[in-house]
Amino acid sequence: MSATAEEVRNRTQELLAAHPPAATSPADFLRARFDAGLAWVHYPAGLGGLDAPRALQPVVDAELAAAGAPDNDPRRIGIGLGMAAPTILAHGTEEQQRRFLRPLWTGEEVWCQLFSEPGAGSDLAALATRATREGDTWTVTGQKVWTSSAHVARWAILVARTDPEAPKHRGLTYFLCDMTDPGVEVRPLRQITGEAEFNEVFLDGVRIPDAHRLGAVGDGWRVAQATLMNERVSIGGGRLPREGGMIGKAAATWRDRPGLRTAELHQRLLDLWVEAEVARLTGERLRQQLAAGRPGPEGSGAKLVFARLNQQISALETELLGDDGLLYEDWTLRRPEHVDFTGRDAGYRYLRAKGNSIEGGTSEVLLNIVAERVLGLPAEPRTDKDVPWKDLAR
Helix/strand/coil percentages in the chain, nearest 5: 45, 15, 40
Residue 366: how many other CB atoms lie within 10 Å: 23
| pTM of the complete model | 0.87
Q: Are residues 166 and 118 in the same domain?
A: yes
Catalytic residue among 195, 197, 231, 319: 231
Q: Are residues 64 and 38 in the same domain?
A: yes
CA dihedral for 307, 308, 310, 311, sign (positive or negative): positive
Give the number of C-alpha atoms closer than 13 A to the C-alpha of residue 223, restricted to the C-beta side: 28
SS3 at position 176: strand
Of 171, 189, 218, the residue that ends a domain is 218
Q: Are residues 367 and 233 in the same domain?
A: yes
Q: Are residues 235 and 173 in the same domain?
A: no
Q: Are residues 230 and 211 in the same domain?
A: no
pLDDT for position 182: 98
pLDDT for position 9: 95
Q: Are residues 232 and 331 in the same domain?
A: yes
Residue 267 belongs to domain spanning: 224-374
Q: Are residues 119 and 155 in the same domain?
A: yes
Q: Please, is 50 exposed, middle or buried when counting C-beta atoms within 10 Å of its C-beta (0-12, 13-18, 19+)?
A: buried
Q: For residue 157, give the CATH number of its domain.
A: 2.40.110.10
Q: Are residues 269 and 336 in the same domain?
A: yes
Q: For residue 342, give the CATH number of its domain.
A: 1.20.140.10
- Catalytic site includes residue 319: no
Long-range contacts of 265-273 (CB under 8 A, 24+ apart): 265/316, 265/319, 265/320, 268/316, 269/316, 269/320, 272/247, 272/309, 272/312, 272/313, 272/316, 273/243, 273/247
E strands in 38-181: 111-114, 130-134, 137-144, 155-161, 172-178
Residue 197 lies in a domain: yes
**Interatomic CA distance for residues 215 and 92, integer angstroms:** 7
Q: Are residues 27 and 167 in the same domain?
A: no
Number of independent structural domains in the chain:
3
Q: Are 201 and 209 in contact (CB under 8 A)?
A: no
Q: Are residues 367 and 228 in the same domain?
A: yes
SS3 at position 181: coil
pLDDT for position 193: 85
**Block means of pLDDT (10 residues each) for the chain, length 394 residues?**
85 97 97 97 95 90 96 93 94 98 98 94 91 97 95 97 96 98 96 88 98 98 88 63 87 88 91 92 71 60 88 93 79 74 82 85 83 86 87 84
pLDDT for position 331: 67
Q: Are 8 and 15 in contact (CB under 8 A)?
A: no
Of 167, 198, 218, the residue that ends a domain is 218
Of 218, 243, 259, the residue that ends a domain is 218
Give how far Cα 263 sits from Cα of 222, 257, 260, 269, 276, Å: 50, 14, 10, 10, 20
